Amino acid sequence: MMLISAIGIVNNKLNYQSFIRRTPEYKENGFTLIELLTVMAIIGIISAISIFAINTTNKNDDLTVNATRLASLMELSREEAIMQGRDYGIEFIESGYQFLEYIPMLETWVDLQNDHLFKQRKLPNGLQYELVIENKEIQIKNNKVNSSDESLDKLRVDKIPHILILSSGEISPFNLILFTDDNSRIKVSASLGGEIIVNNDQ
């Protein structure tokens, strides 16, 4: 089974065999499932609170808030992907971004519009971004169906993520630079191992 991302060929270091469920190795000493789920629930609650508890007052605050929100959502989706054995992706659109989930039985990606945390999010007016993957700037275009005589089956535009968040804990590396008209900038980046960093981009 092959996953397709928006950039086509993805870094060969990504281990797509991780989509095949491995038999877990149990050890005599370790945390119980209840303890792990409790910790993950607490982390999820704290992350959710931090995402929505920040107020904005100016454009610089908008940069910090939106960068922090994206990083927090990615951390949370990565934790859910590991715990639940699910695979997520992020599709960037002209006005913002949305989270997708891969459905193996359908071999396709679906959006999470009904999820209050991972729903589609729009960036504030005046806030722009540049997405760089594998040292290439990605041009973001909204998919549109122009032909009026397409069948109903072909009217659905397939969703393809730019960033993969795998059940193995891996994230496809990227750099996202948020900026405003006054040239204030902040960068969100991720490494293959799953480390997500937010810092000012000078």
pLDDT of residue 60: 64
Name the β-bridge partners of 103. 108
pLDDT of residue 39: 79
Q: Which amino acid is at 200?
A: N
Contact 14, 192 (CB under 8 A): yes
Tell me the C-alpha distance between 49 and 72, whole Å.
Answer: 10
Contact 157, 143 (CB under 8 A): yes
Tell me the C-alpha distance between 44 and 80, whole Å.
Answer: 9
Contact 79, 185 (CB under 8 A): no
Residue ranges of the domains in the chain?
Answer: 34-200
Overall fold of domain 34-200: minor pseudopilin epsh fold (3.55.40)
- Judged on CB neighbours under 10 Å (0-12, 13-18, 19+), 160 is middle
What sign does the dihedral 196-198-199-202 (CA atoms) show? positive
Half-sphere exposure of 173 (CA within 13 A, CB side): 10
Query: Per-residue pLDDT for the chain (202 aa), expressed as one digit of tens each?
Result: 556 666 655 554 555 454 444 545 545 566 687 877 787 778 877 766 665 555 444 556 788 999 999 999 999 999 999 999 999 999 999 889 999 999 999 889 998 878 888 889 999 888 999 999 998 999 887 654 444 444 434 334 578 899 999 999 999 999 999 998 888 899 999 988 889 999 876 5
- Judged on CB neighbours under 10 Å (0-12, 13-18, 19+), 156 is exposed
pLDDT of residue 76: 92
DSSP 8-state code for residue 71: H
pLDDT of residue 46: 77
Tell me the C-alpha distance between 162 and 184, whole Å.
Answer: 24
pLDDT of residue 2: 56
